[in-house]
Each structure stands twice: as structure tokens, then as C-alpha cells.
Structure 1
Amino acid sequence: MDHFIVVLTENRNLGIIASAYFAEDNEGSPSLVLKEKVNTHSPEQHKKFTFTTEQLTVLAILDQITDRYLFNEFSKDTSIKQFYEKLDDQKLEDTIRPHIEAQMMACLNVLAQNPSIKIYLKDKKYSNIYKSDRLEIYPQKVDPIFYFKLDEKGINYTLKIKTETEDVSLTYKKPIVISHSPCILLIREKLYRFENTDSKKFVPFFEKSSVQIQARSVATYMKTFVAASVKNHAVNAEGFNIVTEDIKPVAKLVIAYNLQQEPILTLEFVYGTKSHLANSKSNVVVDVKEANEKYTLIKHKRDDDWEQLIIKKLLDLGLLSLEGHAYYPKGYGQPYEFYPIINWYNLNRTTLNELDVSLSDKSLDKEYYFGESSCVLNTSKDGDWYDLQMIIKIGIYDIPFLKFRKYIIAGKKEYELPDGKIFVIPEEWYSKYGDILTYAEVFGNKLRLKPIFHHLTGKKNNTNAEVLIQQNSSTVPATLKASLRPYQQQGFSWMNYLNNNGYGGILADDMGLGKTLQTITLLLNIYKPSEHNPDNTHPISEGIEGFNTSNIAASLIVMPTSLIHNWLNEFKKFAPSLKVYVYSGQKRLRSKEIGNIIRHYHVVLSSYGVIRNDIEYIKHYNFEYFILDESQYIKNPTSKIYQAVSQVECNKKLVLTGTPIENSLTDLWAQMNFVNEGLLGSLPFFKKQFVHTIEKLNNEGQKEKLQQLIAPYILRRTKEKVAKELPPVSEQVLLCDMTPEQQKVYEVEKSGIRNQLLKTFASEGIEKSTFLALQGLTKLRQIANHPKLVDEEYTGSSGKYNLILDHLNSIINEGHKVLIFSSFVKDLELIETQITKDKISYSKLTGSTTNRQKVVEDFEHDDNCKVFLISLKAGGVGLNLISADYVFLLNPWWNPAAESQAINRAHRIGQTKNVFVYRFISVGSIEEKIMRLQEHKSELANTFINSNNPFKNMGESEIKELFS
């Protein structure tokens, strides 16, 4: 019968290691026959042997010291043979042997609890082992005990092993070191395990009973070896005292430098004369005191509860734990600087003093000021300006704020005080007063600020659009051919207030709440035209007197081309007395003389493309109002459209949008800077102060400040908040199983994209990989709808299409109308093919549709037209489709705003039916992950009033996970 045994033997490459064998025990024979080495990696191959749980545990441990494991873990060579040929003593000692010895200790720990598993020592010269070579494992881990005797000759000490019953001497017993650290010793067929001791302490006593330290080395030896022994082990002392005391510790923060030579804070806990880095492992402290050649070693335990409390307090005060004992103020990325450290300390100095936490700055090459500072800002109205009185106190010094102006504007951190110390300007001063100093003007020794920038003073200000509405209600013009809803009346009042005070604004109401009507009301109030003016569609021609007799210049409204007819119809319907000129089309006048025509009208309608191309003509006329509809078109401040509209001369500006933020806060800056230039500072300033701190660092203080800055000039109402009379929207996600053939196509494509991504990440980095991921994402989205979108030859079906057509037929049979939105035109074409076969009447709107208004009217007014196929990009804005009460969204996208706009085509003012929204999602596809990530995309927009780049702010691991 074969027996499972563990054998210790000398390996020529690695030293002593343990292996598992099957051995045959022949009765009457003094030896065991080693029949076979156990396969530790795949023990199931030994089908004739049934392993116990304990044996399998041993095999799992020993598998980590096999040649195969060590080669895979520690070598880049091509073979195990080459690995051992190149293995040098230093790598073996520093890296590989410590790993082996940790596993050896783990193995003996299991065997000590399971004596039925026998362990033997094998001489490497013999193939078999003798039964007498069996080893016993002492069941408990043991510790050394030191015997120190101090007298005039010096220190004499010895070391023994302390067991439960005796102190065992090592001398002349020929111990064998099985493992160095942790130490395992074999003494006369018995294995002893030492958890916190290495073999170097034992070796001197293998051949002699004691060690003598000369008198001249006593002082050093007591402070090092003896103190360390008292700290970690049992000590029997003669000639000096060992006492245990409680010592009150103190905490110390030290400005130090990391491996990149960046300043950080290290936390130390000081017990008496000993300092310990935070989170260091030693829990016992030993102080050595000497008086008149008499030594006392004071031993005390570290107060772990107190240390952890200090660490928690520091984290609560805004420190970020880097690793172990290293800390740095939160909210700052690398490279680290010491300015935030000083700012943090000065800000929390009082609390740190209460905690008895000190700061050491000996590593700094300048003498910096650590102490209290304050800046108090007072403002007073002086005509059209605000006078700013700012008083700075730094310790004993009162310093005029003007002296700091150039430092803060330039971003300089250090200001030299009269006593030569360096004052680090607090970071909050830059965010709190940087804007003020950028826009304030100097008059003698005073700073003055224009009213539009008053919010930059940081004074508690509850002024926002809603407050302005309450304080400035306006009368609706009698010539308006509509009744405004209460919130529309309030929106008009807000715009009128901005108009009267020379400010620009952003009307950011939800789609469908009537931004167009509110704007028309404002223009009626400005021009106050007579009811008896000629029809507003009548063109100006030579000899005909102008329509605009108000002595107020015309106003320009710019929009996407597709919305011009909608605006024109709204003016005809609600304000026929306002005369409108459409500056669009191929036959438009392209001349600087266009002003001679414009001046006869109240309102000019044009498109972004026309203004971009004709800016050299348009910029010569000074408009009263310049209004942008769907103003997210100018969200990129470097675009030609933004540059063009910035050249238009006008007295006031207004923009309309349902999505003021699509990708980034930069979108908001572009639109707000257009209507109120300079309110949010320059673009570099805005990116530094707000985009970085809010989008990257999630700084709540900067969020609040930005909200306060823009609050009076932006009005945002949601349908849920103000249009409570609208019927409810019911939204439902319909999960679709892909057909087997569709699933196969999807998985093959996903695998190929993932493999290509991994290669690109490794060779070309994240930027190139992001482009590749976007391509792959689009392809997987298309397959999740129908593989035919990417493969014309595909003949199978689509689970999603089957479900779409089932629901579509049922809804049409019940007499309802349906809007079907997709990101892909080809997606709509597949649906179109099927409903044409089924003889279902439909309308269709894509980017190539030229008769946009007609297809809209056909759908709205023809009861037989039940389906409207719409591409998400072409139909996201400017459509009023309230005859529909069902909305199909065929594929999700990252920007939730795009879907909201689609839903708002049907769920808007005038809708009387309940609206049902179905989102079709293919199970197990990229669409499910998009749905989960959508939840995180709208937070930014919701905070400051949605994204078309799904990989913005995503790291490598997140992109890989997307395609997992």
C-alpha cells in the first residue's frame, strides 16, 4: 500500500525544500521505497489514490515551490534550464528563497496539526529514506529567550529555545537550518518553528554556549541589539533593569519627499525618544536610559486605538492617505507640491493644536509662515459700480489687498512678509478672489467692480432667476395672440428684466415648454408694433415704406435650418404684427447692403450655416437682440460658428436650449460667455477653476460658486416641475433575446474587437484605443439591432426586430400613432421595408429629407399615417408631434438628453393623451452596459442648469470592461 509523505531534501539550486511522495513501506525493512513524486499541480491524475482534504491543502502549498511555478513567477527566460543557469545567489537570497520559506512554514503549520501526515529528512545522496529519518514537529510555535549579563567586563549573553516545559540549549546539538526567515530549525529529529525570528540570531550558539561583548561596545549594543531583543522577545536580564511603563505619545507630521522628490506629509508617533511611522508593524517600544553606567530599558506598548483615532481625525480634516505613513491634502493630483500642505496646515492649525499634532518643516529650504491669516471683503454701491474694501491680516501684519493683486492674477504662491518669512497665499483666495481681481478695475487705491460681476465677491447671495421673476413681474403685450401659462409668464418677466438691465440670458427650459412663445412675447414687448401693420410675409420692395417704425433696430434669431419654418409659423400664429424677414436660401442677398433691407423689419430669421458663411455682410448691422435657438450649436468655442456669431454686433443677447451641457462644463462657458462676455472669466481660467475642480475633483465648493455665478442669468424648468397638466409619460424597457444566429455574429465581432483593443492598448496607448473602441462600439450597437446593418449578406433574423414589429402591429391595430427613433438611418430603412410590405402608411425624416415641414404635417394631419420614422440626429429638435402617443427608442446612446429630446417630440404642451415610451434593449449586449452608464451621465447637466463622447473621462480598465 502506498503512503502519502512529505520529504525535506537539499535542492542543488534552491536549498532545502519540501516535496510530496508516494512511498512503499515493506514490513521488516528499515527503509521506505520512494515510488513516485506527487503531481502537486494536478493531483487528480493519481486516480488510484484518494487524497484527504489536509493532503490536498499541503499539495496546494507545495505546488508554489515547484520548478514550474518558480519559473513562471520569477523568470523571463525561455526554459527552466536557462532559468537555473542564470540564477545568481543574490536573486535567490533576496527574492526566491523568501517565497520558498514562506510556503515551507505554511506546510509545516498544516503538518503540525495533522501528525498523520508523516515528514522525513532525506539525504540527497540516497534514493530511498530510512524510517528512522522521520521527523517530529513540535506542535506549538516557539520563541527564543535571551539571557543577558552585564558587568564591568561587558555583556555576556546566550540564547535558548523556550518551550512550554523547558528552555532548550542549541549548543553542540548540530542544529540544521531548514528555513532562515521565518526560521525553522531541526534539532535532533525535532522541527521547531519561530514566527518572528530569523536564523542569524541562533547560528552563533550552534558551536558555543555564549557570546561576549566588550565593555567599550556596551552603550551601542544596549541601544541596538539588547533593546531589539527586549522589544521582540523574552529576556532574562542581569546587571540592568527592564521596566514596563505607559508613555503618553504625541503625533508629528513631517514634510518629507517621496521617490519622485515630491513633497508629502509623513505621520510619526513619538513615544519618549522613539519615533514610529504610522502603520508600521512594531507594537512595542523600548527606550534605553543610562545614568552613572546603570542601564534601564523602558518597555511600553504603542497605543493602537489612539493612533488610529489620530489617523481618522487627519483624514476627516482633508488629508488623503497615499500609502502606509504618507499623506497629502485631498483634491490635488500629482505632481505634489508643498503649497497645498502649508495651506492645509494653516487652515486646520487650531484643530491640530488641540490634537497635539505638530508639524516639522526642516526639509524646506525657506522659512515659511505657519499661522493664522484672514481676508475680509466689504462692498458698497457707488453709482453703477461696487467699491471693494478688502483687508488682509497675516499674524501681526495688516496688508492692503492691492499688494496681492498681481500675485493672485499671475498665480504666484509666495508673498514675502516684512520679517522675511514666506506667506503662502491660501488656495481659496485664488478661487474666491481671482475672478474679482480679473474683472475689477483699479481707481487710485480702490478696486471697483461692474454690477454684472457682483456675484464674484463671494457674498452670500440668493439672487437667481426665480427670485428675479418674483421681484419683476411684467405685463404681457396685448398684441400677443396667445395665453401664456404661468411659468411662461414668469419666463417672459425674467427675460424682460434682463433686457431692461442690459444682461444676456440662457433660457434652458425642457423641450416642449414653449421657449419660442416666451421669446416672441419678449420681442413684442420691445417693439410694440401696431396691429394694423401689413401682413408680415409681404416682402420689402423699392418704394414701399418699411414695416419697422419703432426706431429700434431689428433683432436676429439664428437656428438650425430645419427650424426656420417652425419659427416663421409661430410668429404668424402668435405675433402677426411683428414683421419677419427670412435671411436664408440660395437667392439671399449677399452684400454689405443687406442692412438696408433688415432695418425695415422687426425680426430676421437665419441659420447657423448662413451666418457662418455670410458674417462679412451681417456684421455691419447693429441688431437690437441677437438670439440663438438650440444654442448648443456654439458649445465649441474654437469652432467657426462660435467665431462667426461672436462678430455679430448687437445690444443684447439671448440663447435658447434644452441641453445647455452636452459633454462638458465648457459647453456652458461657451454659451454664457456669448450672452454675458467675461462673466465666467477666460476659457483657460474657467477650465482651471471650474472644469478641472468640478469634473475631475468633484469639488463641492466650486460647484456652489459656479451655480451662484450663473443663477441670475439662466432659467431652467422641467416639465415635471411646471407643466403638471401634461398627461404622464410611462417608460418601459423591453428586453429582447438575440436570435441564435444574431448572437453568434455578435460574439465573434465582440471577440475580435476586444483582441484588437488589447493589442492597441499595449502598442499605441489609450488615445488610439479610444478611436478604435468607438468604432467597435458602433458596430456592436448595430449588430444588437440587426446584423444586416453591418452585413448585407446576413439572412438570419433579429430578436429585437421581431419584438419591435410585434408591438408595432398591435399598437397600430388599436389606432395609435408611433414615433420610431434610431441612431442609424439604415435601421429605419429595415423597418420601412417591412411596414411597406404590410401596407402601413408612414412618414420619414432623416438628415437627407428636404421637405421637412411637409412630412411633419402629413403625419400630424393624416389619420391614416400611423408611423413616423425619425433619425435621432435629424428629429431631436424643433418638432411638434403631439398626434403620437407612443415612442419607440430602438437603441440607447450615452447622452440621455438625446432620448429626452426624442420623447419631448410627443410629450409637450398640447398633448392630451398619455405617452408610452418603449426602449428596446438586446439582452447580453453592449446596450445593457450603455443603459447602466447612462445613469451617471446626466448628473452634471442636472447640477448646472447631457454626452456624445462615451469614452470621455473613461480609463483603460473601464473601456476594456465595456467589451468584456
Structure 2
Amino acid sequence: MENFIIVITENRHLGLLALPYLVENNENSPSLSLNEKVDTQKPEKYDYQFSDFELELLKILHKLSDKHLFSIYSKDKTIKLFYDNLDKKKLTDIIRPHIEKYMSQCFRFLSSHQQIPVYFKDAKYSNLYKSDIIEVSDILAEPVFYFNLNDEGISYSLKVKLGDDDISLTHKNPMVICHNPCVLLIKNKLYQFDHTDSKKFIPFFSKSEIKIQARSVPSYMETFVTNAIKSHKVVNKGFDIVEDKTKPVAVLSIEQNISQQPVLALKFRYASKEYLANSKSNIAVQLNQNENEFSFTKYKRDIEWENSIIKLIKELGLAEESGANFHPKTNNGQRANTQQVIEWTNQNNIILSENKIEIKQGTLENNYFVGEFSCKLKTTKKNDWFDLQMVIKIGEFEIPFIKFRKYIISGKNEFKLPNDEIFLIPEEWFTQYADLLMFAEEKGDKVRLNSMYYNLLDNNQNFNHKEFTSIAEGKDNNVPEGLNAELRPYQLQGFKWMNYLHNNNFGGILADDMGLGKTLQTITLLLKIYQENKLKTEEAREIQQLNLFEASNLEGFNDSGIPTSLIVMPTSLIHNWLNEFQKFAPKLKIYIYSGAKRLKSKEIGKILRHYHVVLSSYGIVRNDIEFLRHYHFHYTILDESQYIKNPNSKIYEAIMQINCSKKIVLTGTPIENSLSDLWAQMNFVNQGLLGNLNFFKRHYLAPIEKSNSEEHEEKLQKLIEPFVLRRTKEKVAKELPPLTEQVLYCDMTPEQKKFYDAEKSGIRNELLKTFENAGIEKSTFLALQGLTKLRQIANHPIFVDPEYEGKSGKFNMIINNLESIVNEKHKVLIFSSFVKDLDLIEKSLVKRKIKYSKLTGSTSNRQDVVDAFEKQDDCSVFLISLKAGGVGLNLISADYVFLLNPWWNPAAEAQAINRAHRIGQTQNVFVYRFISTETIEEKIMRLQEHKSKLADTFINSNNPFKNMDEAQIKELFS
């Protein structure tokens, strides 16, 4: 019958090993028959039924197998080569410690499972004798040192204590099975030791006592004896060992690690001796020497208390680095710097002090302030300003807030205190006050902030943000009498928001989606202002140029005592605004400052002052600013304010010269190309809010557009939030009928695809040459030309080559869908970026005798063509160029929208869709986007989502190459 045993034997390559064997016990023989060594990886292949204990042991012994050692310690091809090339140093320093670790585990396991026999087999003999069985002690042995100090020196001996028995090692021929932790084989009994290596035992194998001469006693007491007292039981004579009960103290020392990085080193001080938190011994020992007299103070470390300190500092945000070193965790996952280490200690100073944890500075270059500090900001409102009063107390010093301004703005965090300590300005001060101080002004020893930056005071407990910004549900927000409309809830909110800006002398951007009634909300505000300020008493007014008016017509003109307001818009919207005023607020008198016969004079104000509202266009204002700037308007309101997005344009320059008290702009697309669009419009309504253009580019535009900085995005959003109101149709106009959008992919005809591929290849080759010779700046112009050309071919090659006689896949699909829709008595809006596209469809409509309207940039009777489509049932199709008809049109008779070609800015397409899907629409609206497959149009669609992210982030581009690098442009034409 087979038995499972463990055999300790010598391996000629690796030294002593514990190996598993299956053996047969012949009762009539003094030896055992070694059948085979057990494969620790595949015990299931044997007939023998291994117990759970034995299987567990095999898992441990597998770590000692040839295969395992070969897999982790060798790069040789075979185990034989591994052993042939094994050098002694690698064996001693690396492999044997691994072997002895698992040998020790094996013996610990065997001591608790005595049913598994263990034998020692001498490598010189081929047989394994029954008499070689080994007893594995079931308790750990303990070394006991006996020291005797006298005038001649110090002598010491060592005995092994096993339970109540003392065992001498001398002349017992012990065998070292494992060196660390030590395992000794003495006369067929295996002794195991904890935290003790064999070097302490070996000298006593041959001698019973070791003597140290008197001259070497001091160093010996400091090293060997101190360690012996710390780690083992000691019987002492000639010196004292005293146990101290002093309560320990925890110390966090600010130091540098070996990589010169700041750390908090945790130490525990027992009496006057400090020990690093990761020191292994549970006993701390201090040597005391007075001439030739020695004594030791022994401190039993309070491990439970020490662990509670480690747990506490981890809960306070420290991460364990290595051993006793800790550092504060950071939000970005990067290593904490010196400032963050100091900040952590200051932020947690009180709780550390309460738990008797000392902070001290070790190996840092500067002497930093560590202690309590406070910072309290108080704001006082004065007219259009806030006075900022802040008291900063750092230790014993009180320092005026104004002294920190230049440090916080410039990002310098080291402030020198009067005692030469360095106070590290907390990172949260930069977060909390940097923007505030950047926009504040110094007046003597005070700091003041324009009230339009009130949102930056959010974190100040002395500032009641809610009270300052509340829109009261009182008389001041009542809808004015005489408004011929019932405002929807979101329109009422928009009116109240504008009224709040009005009362606080702020400007704003109303950036609602197209079709939500920005015009009506603005008219409501103007009606309220002029009605409620109507003069209550008869006042003689000097009326000049009476020849301009019939006396009977003066009744109802502006007698409010408030100057006229100016609304500037694209020329095409003037009549739309006039109609809206006449419809919703007929009591307001409107003057149209437009047309060739307008009065061009500095005296124009003498006419304008009699009206409530003046309507004009961007072109007229640009041309006549020399006349208009002499009159002080009450409001200047810009509709489609993206017209002033370019701060270097003449329109922007002219608009900024308008003299007025208050400003509002209206737009569905405040950002088209870049954040500089937003800056231009915001700088008009609240000049200086975002700093000058260079400042804005440096602090916001570059970090956001180039580095995708979320921190700068949040800062910019916070600045503009009170002055921008943006609502989308999906959120507020829930009564609108469903909008269904579908992409219709059109395969090019064979002749069209051949034409397209040839042109694309030529453009790409030319572009690559230009990149190589002229760089990216000159290449973008060529790329834009090529892009336009490929877009036109994707629609119909005839736009590029009038001699082209083939067909277009997209054009065929457009006409087929158009015929079906018209036959079903629906109306459709057809938008294209190319007028040639519309001309081609127009020819097809004429041929098919389908009645249509057409609106492009050259259309002079704009209102007539709109009325024809809206009012004539048989006018089924409206051809519109995207540039001429993307805004200012209400075409709710249409329930289909065709978008013939994609463009970079999805907002432009959304504007087109909003001509039909807007307030008043009762029918479901269907939008078809026509895309030619395997063309640049598909790539434009993929880029649209990425391109619009910026606009969506900040309220909602027409230069596609503005932020594209060379690789991206090449990919576009691949």
C-alpha cells in the first residue's frame, strides 16, 4: 500500500529541498521503497487518493519544483542549461531565499498536520531508512541570550527554549535546513524559529560561550546586544534592562525622499527615541551609557495605537508611498508637490493636534509656515461696485488682502512672512480668488469689483447671491398693458430675465433657438420700459422740424422722457420686425432708418427722439455711424448678433461707437467659428467683462480650444452665465409637433464617380505639393477651394464642368422624392449652400410645371416671395439659399425640409429647419439630408459632431480648417 511522505534531501544544484514522494512500507525491511516523486502540478494522474491536507501541501511544494524555478528564474531553453549556467551568487541571493520561504511554509503546515510523515535522506545513500523519520515540533522554538558584563568585557551564550525545555546547541551537530527564518535539524527533530536567522546560532554549534574584549563592549552593546534585547528574550547580568511605560507620540516630518520629492515621514517617539513607522520590531530599545556603565530602556510598541494613527492619516487623505513615507492624494492622480504637502498639514492642523500628532520640518530647502491661518472676505455693495474687504491672519501676523493680489494673479504661491518663514498660499485661494482679483481694481488700499462680476462672489459667505439675482414675482415683472400676445411660460421667463438685466444695468445675450420668440420677448421689454416711464405731467417739449410731421400725428409718439431705442439687424429682417411691432405693440412708434432717401446728418437725433424704436441694418449703421453716434440711444439691440462676431471688422467697430445706456443682443448661434465670436458679442453688451481680446485669447480661448481645459471652460461659463439665456425647442416648446430627421444616402452614378475620383486625386496631389513647399497656412486656401469643388461635384458635376453630360445620383433622388411629396399635396423647403444647385432644381420644376418660390441673396422682393409660398396653396416648393434664408423667416406652411448638402456648423442647418419647425407649426415636420456616399460629404457629417462641441458647451463654423492640423486636412481628402 502506498503512503505519501515528505523527504528532506540534498539537491546537487539547489541545496536542501523538501520533496513529496509516494512510498511503500515493507514491514520486513528497514527501508522504504521510494516509488516515485510526486508531480506537484498533476497529482490527479496517480492512483493514490490525496487528502485535502496533502493537496494543499503540494501547492506549496510546487514553488520548489524544477519547472517553477526554471519558469521564473531562467531565460535558458532547457532546465539542464538553467542548472549548468547557475552561478553561486544568484543561487545564494535570489533563489535560496525563495526556496527557504516556501520550505518554511511547508514545515509550518506539517507542524499542524502531524499525520504526514517527514524523513531526512542523506544524499550519499540510495535507500531511505525508516529510522530517518523526523519529528516536526508543533510549537516555535525561541532563542534565549545570556549576557554577562564585567570589567574584562562581555560574554554571552545561547540556548534554545522549546516550551519549558532548554536545549543547548553545542556539540549536537545541528543541521541548518533554512537560514532565514532559521530551521534547525537536531537529532531527528525539526526546530523552527520566528524572525531569527541562522547566523546567531552557528557560532554556538562548536562553542558554548563567546567573549568580547572590554574595548569592543560599547559598539557591541549598541549593535548586537541592542538588537538581541529588541528581538529576543535576554537574561542579563552586569547591566540593567528597564521597561518604560511612557505614552508614545506620533510625528509627521516633512522631508524629501531619495527622489527629492516631498513626503510626510511618519515616526513614533517613545520617550526620546524616534522610530520609523515601518520598522518591524514590536519592541523599541534605547541604549544609555554613563562612562563604563550601561543600561537599556525597553519600550513595548503600542501596535494597535500606531495602526490607529496610520488609519487616521489615511482617512485624512494621505496615501502610503513606501515604508513610513506618505503623501497627500491629488485629484489629477499626479504626485503631490511641496505646496500640496504643506497645504495638507495646514488644513488638518487642528485634528492632527487633537490626536497628539506633531508636525515638524526635516530636509526641506525652505522654512515653511505650518500652523493655523484664516481668510475672511466681506463684500459691501456701493452703486455699481463691490468693495472687497479681507482680513488674512497667518499665525501671529495680520496681513492686508491687497498684498496678496499680485501673488494670486501671477500664480506665485510663496509669500514671505515678517519672521522669514514662507507661507504657501493655498491652491484653493487661487481657485477662489484668482478670477475675482484679475477683474478687480485697486483703489488706494482697497480692492473693488464691478457689479457685473457678482457671479465670482458665489463662494463668499458674506455675499447673498440669491438675493442679488432674484427675479421677484412683483409688479416690476408684470407683462405691460397693451401687449397683444399671451407669453408662453419660457417667454415670460425670458422677459423677466431681460427686465432683471435692465434694472441692474447689465447687458445680455438672448440665445434661444430659432422660432422661440426672441422678437416677442424683446418687444415686451421695450413696451414695458416706454409705457411705465410715460410722463405723467404735461411738459412742454421743443419739437423741431415740424415739417416732418402733421400736428395730428404727434399724438402717441415718444413722450416717456426716455431716449429712443435702436434695433440693428440684417436688412432682410427690417420688415419682419416692423410687422411684429405692429402686431404685438401697436402703441410703440417705429422709425425705419434705411433706404437711399434716409437723412444723413448729425442732426438725425432730432427726428429719432420722437420715436420709441428705430429699426436699421448693420450695413446702414456701418456707413452712417458718423451721424448716428451723436445721438444717445436708450437701448441698442442687435438681432442676429453673430454679424459682429469679428472684432476686427468695420461693422464691429461701428457698433461699438453707438452711444447708448443699455444693450441686448439676440442670436441663435452666438458661436459659429470660435470663442472669439462670443467675446465680441459679450464685449458689446458688457464691455470689459471678459477683458480685452488678447487677455481673452490667452486666458480662455487658447486653453479651451487648443488644450480642452475643463477648468477654463468652467471659469468662462461662470463668468457669462448670468448674462446668457439659452433655451432649446426640445426643452421649452414641448407643444411643437414631432420632428423627424433622416439621412438619405445617394450613390453616385458611374460617370459621376469617375469624375469625382479624378478631381479628388488631382486636388490631393496638388495639396501635398503645397504642404511640402509652402506649409499649412498657404495650403488651407487651396484646401478650401478643393473642398468646395468636391462638394459641388457630389451634388452634380455640371456645376464644375458645364460640358458634363452624365447624371447625378443625388439630383435624381432629390427630384424623385420631390415629385412624391408635391403629389401628396405637401409643401417643402429646399435649402442649399449653392445657388447653382437651386437653379438646376428650378429648371426641373419649370419643366414639370410645379409652382415654386425662390429666395437667394439677389432677391429684392423678399416679402413677396415669402407671402406667395405661405398664402398660395398651389405654391408647393420654396428654393432657399442657406445664407439668404437661414434666419428671419416664418414658413410654418411647410412640413418637409430638404437639406441638399452638409456644412461644418450644424447650427446653420438647425436654423434652416427652424424656419418650419417653430411656434405655430401644427404638422409633423420631416427633414431629409441628402448625402452622396464615398464623398467628402460623409466626412463632413462625421466632423459635424466634433465641430459643434465648442458651441454646445458655451450656449450652442464656417472655417473648417481653423483648428485642423496637416494630418487632419490630408485625411479629409484621402
1:142: Cα distance to partner?
Answer: 6.8
Q: Are the aligned partners of 1:491 and 1:715 in contact in 2 as well (CA < 8 Å)? A: yes
Change in 2 beyond 3 A, CA 1:390/1:755:
farther
Amino acid at match of 2:615: L
The one-character-per-residue Cα deviations of 1:300-322 (angstroms, maximum 9, x if unpaired) are xxxxxx999959x999725577x
Change in 2 beyond 3 A, CA 1:729/1:706:
same
Counterparts of 1:466 and 1:598, CA distance in 2: 34
Q: Are the aligned partners of 1:256 and 1:266 in contact in 2 as well (CA < 8 Å)? A: no
1:560: Cα distance to partner?
Answer: 0.8
Between stretches 642-651 and 672-681, larger displacement belongs to: 672-681
The match for 2:929 is 919
Aligned ranges 1:373-384 → 2 under 5 Å: 375-381=375-381
The match for 2:477 is 474
Change in 2 beyond 3 A, CA 1:480/1:147:
closer
Change in 2 beyond 3 A, CA 1:362/1:797:
farther
SS in 1 for 2:87: strand
Aligned ranges 1:286-325 → 2 under 5 Å: 317-318=330-331
1:622: Cα distance to partner?
Answer: 0.5
Change in 2 beyond 3 A, CA 1:251/1:856:
farther
The match for 2:699 is 689
Counterparts of 2:254 and 2:959, CA distance in 1: 47
Amino acid at match of 1:524: L
1:423: Cα distance to partner?
Answer: 5.3
Counterparts of 1:580 and 1:308, CA distance in 2: 70
The one-character-per-residue Cα deviations of 1:265-308 (angstroms, maximum 9, x if unpaired) are 799999xxxxxxxxxxxxxxxxxxxxxxxxxxxxxxxxxxx999
Aligned counterpart in structure 2 of residue 579 of structure 1, from 563, 586, 589:
589
Change in 2 beyond 3 A, CA 1:671/1:241:
farther
Pair 1:754-2:790 in alignment: no
Q: Are the aligned partners of 1:465 and 1:712 in contact in 2 as well (CA < 8 Å)? A: no
The match for 1:402 is 402
The match for 2:530 is 527
Change in 2 beyond 3 A, CA 1:359/1:310:
farther
Aligned ranges 1:446-845 → 2 under 5 Å: 446-459=446-459, 468=471, 474-528=477-531, 541-542=547-548, 544-545=550-551, 546=554, 547-845=557-855
Q: Are the aligned partners of 1:629 and 1:656 in contact in 2 as well (CA < 8 Å)? A: yes
Pair 1:847-2:857 in alignment: yes
Change in 2 beyond 3 A, CA 1:112/1:835:
farther
Q: Are the aligned partners of 2:833 and 2:882 in contact in 1 as well (CA < 8 Å)? A: yes
SS in 2 for 1:468: coil
The match for 2:416 is 416
Counterparts of 1:256 and 1:585, CA distance in 2: 80
1:697: Cα distance to partner?
Answer: 3.8
Counterparts of 2:623 and 2:972, CA distance in 1: 41
Q: Are the aligned partners of 2:413 and 2:425 in contact in 1 as well (CA < 8 Å)? A: yes
1:764: Cα distance to partner?
Answer: 3.5
Change in 2 beyond 3 A, CA 1:420/1:720:
same
SS in 2 for 1:487: helix
Q: Are the aligned partners of 1:506 and 1:654 in contact in 2 as well (CA < 8 Å)? A: yes
SS in 1 for 2:602: coil
Amino acid at match of 1:860: E
1:402: Cα distance to partner?
Answer: 0.8
Amino acid at match of 1:673: N
Change in 2 beyond 3 A, CA 1:579/1:560:
same
Counterparts of 2:775 and 2:333, CA distance in 1: 29
Percent sequence identity over aligned pairs: 62
1:750: Cα distance to partner?
Answer: 2.7
SS in 2 for 1:891: coil
The one-character-per-residue Cα deviations of 1:896-949 (angstroms, maximum 9, x if unpaired) are 100100000001111111110001112222222222222223333333335222
The match for 1:36 is none
The one-character-per-residue Cα deviations of 1:441-489 (angstroms, maximum 9, x if unpaired) are 5555433334332222242787599963767872222222222222222
Counterparts of 1:462 and 1:141, CA distance in 2: 78
Pair 1:386-2:386 in alignment: yes
The match for 1:953 is 963
Change in 2 beyond 3 A, CA 1:139/1:961:
farther
Q: Are the aligned partners of 1:469 and 1:494 in contact in 2 as well (CA < 8 Å)? A: no
Q: Are the aligned partners of 2:567 and 2:637 in contact in 1 as well (CA < 8 Å)? A: yes
1:592: Cα distance to partner?
Answer: 0.3
Change in 2 beyond 3 A, CA 1:522/1:700:
same
Calculate the TM-score normalised by the size of structure 1: 0.63
Pair 1:858-2:881 in alignment: no
1:690: Cα distance to partner?
Answer: 2.8
Q: Are the aligned partners of 2:254 and 2:364 in contact in 1 as well (CA < 8 Å)? A: no
Aligned ranges 1:287-366 → 2 under 5 Å: 317-318=330-331, 343=339, 346=342
Counterparts of 1:948 and 1:831, CA distance in 2: 25
Counterparts of 1:761 and 1:394, CA distance in 2: 59
Change in 2 beyond 3 A, CA 1:939/1:374:
farther
Counterparts of 1:481 and 1:784, CA distance in 2: 48
1:792: Cα distance to partner?
Answer: 2.0
1:834: Cα distance to partner?
Answer: 1.7
1:543: Cα distance to partner?
Answer: 5.7
Amino acid at match of 2:599: L
Pair 1:929-2:942 in alignment: no
Counterparts of 1:754 and 1:363, CA distance in 2: 59
Aligned ranges 1:181-260 → 2 under 5 Å: none
Q: Are the aligned partners of 1:663 and 1:946 in contact in 2 as well (CA < 8 Å)? A: no
SS in 1 for 2:716: helix
Larger Rg: 2
Change in 2 beyond 3 A, CA 1:963/1:363:
farther
1:654: Cα distance to partner?
Answer: 1.1
Counterparts of 1:528 and 1:592, CA distance in 2: 28
Amino acid at match of 1:862: Q
The one-character-per-residue Cα deviations of 1:36-83 (angstroms, maximum 9, x if unpaired) are xxxxxxxxxxxxxxxxxxxxxxxxxxxxxxxxxxxxxxxxxxxxxxxx
The match for 1:941 is 951
Q: Are the aligned partners of 1:465 and 1:715 in contact in 2 as well (CA < 8 Å)? A: no
Counterparts of 2:946 and 2:517, CA distance in 1: 28
SS in 1 for 2:471: helix
1:387: Cα distance to partner?
Answer: 3.3
Change in 2 beyond 3 A, CA 1:920/1:655:
same
Amino acid at match of 1:544: E
The match for 2:898 is 888
Amino acid at match of 2:863: Q
Q: Are the aligned partners of 1:660 and 1:945 in contact in 2 as well (CA < 8 Å)? A: yes
The match for 1:145 is 87
The match for 2:433 is 433
The one-character-per-residue Cα deviations of 1:307-343 (angstroms, maximum 9, x if unpaired) are 99959x999725577xxxxx7x9xxxxxxxxxxx555
Counterparts of 1:686 and 1:841, CA distance in 2: 51
Q: Are the aligned partners of 1:507 and 1:715 in contact in 2 as well (CA < 8 Å)? A: yes
**Can you give the 5+ residue segments of structure 2 that lack an aligned partner in the other structure?**
1-73, 93-197, 203-251, 267-313, 536-544
Q: Are the aligned partners of 2:253 and 2:362 in contact in 1 as well (CA < 8 Å)? A: no
Q: Are the aligned partners of 1:736 and 1:803 in contact in 2 as well (CA < 8 Å)? A: yes
Amino acid at match of 1:516: T
1:346: Cα distance to partner?
Answer: 4.8
**Can you give the 5+ residue segments of structure 1 that lack an aligned partner in the other structure?**
1-108, 114-136, 150-156, 158-237, 243-249, 258-263, 271-305, 322-326, 330-340, 532-538
Change in 2 beyond 3 A, CA 1:786/1:434:
same
Counterparts of 2:945 and 2:522, CA distance in 1: 32
1:826: Cα distance to partner?
Answer: 1.5
Calculate the TM-score normalised by the size of structure 2: 0.62
Q: Are the aligned partners of 2:931 and 2:937 in contact in 1 as well (CA < 8 Å)? A: yes
